Structure 1
Amino acid sequence: MSKHFEDARYYLGRAADHAKEGVKEELEPVEARFRELVGREKEPEPSRLDRLEADLKELSERAEGEAKEAVQNARSRLQEYRSGRDEE
């Protein structure tokens, strides 16, 4: 593909992106008015802090579950060991 076609394709892509953003920007007030009339509000996107807090909570719960599982495994192995020694 010649350099001219590559350049044209690149600039067409940028033009499409800019057109999409422009249409989105122009329609935001219309969307807001429509949502106001209908009674549906746009759900706010979670902030970066909210996402991090959710991730930390998930990691904490997972770690707690893994720790409980490890304790249960250790207890069962200890019980098996003790019952094996008692039989001898």
Structure 2
Amino acid sequence: MSKHFEDARYYLGRAADHAKEGVKEELEPVEDRVRTLVGREKEPEPSRLDRLEADLKELSKKAEGEAKEAVQDARERLRAYRTDESAE
């Protein structure tokens, strides 16, 4: 693709992003009024701390699962070793 087309595509993408943000910014007061009339509040975005806590919980569960698997694998290998040793 020609460099000119690549540049045009890039700038069209940026223009679309800016247009989307502009429309969103212009309609935000209208959205707030409608939400107030309907009685539905906007859910706040999770804070950085909330996201970190969620990530830590997920990592903790993952680590716990991996630890359980490792213990079970070790038990199975030990059991197999013992049965091989007793068979001799």
Q: Which residue of 2 aligns with 1:81?
A: 81
CA distance in 1, matches of 2:61, 2:83: 33
1:20 Cα deviation after fit: 4.1
The structure whose Rg is larger is 1
| Identity, % of aligned positions | 78
Q: Which aligned runs of 4 or more in structure 1 are off by greater than 3 angstroms? A: 12-23
TM-score, normalization by structure 2: 0.72
Unaligned runs of 5+ in 1: none
Number of residue pairs the alignment of both structures matches? 84
Aligned partners of 2:13, 2:77: CA distance in 1, in Å?
63
TM-score normalized by the length of structure 1: 0.72
Q: 1:27, CA displacement in angstroms?
A: 2.1
Alignment of 1:9-20 (within 5 A): 10=11, 18-20=18-20
User: What stretches of structure 2 of length at least 5 have no aligned partner?
Assistant: none
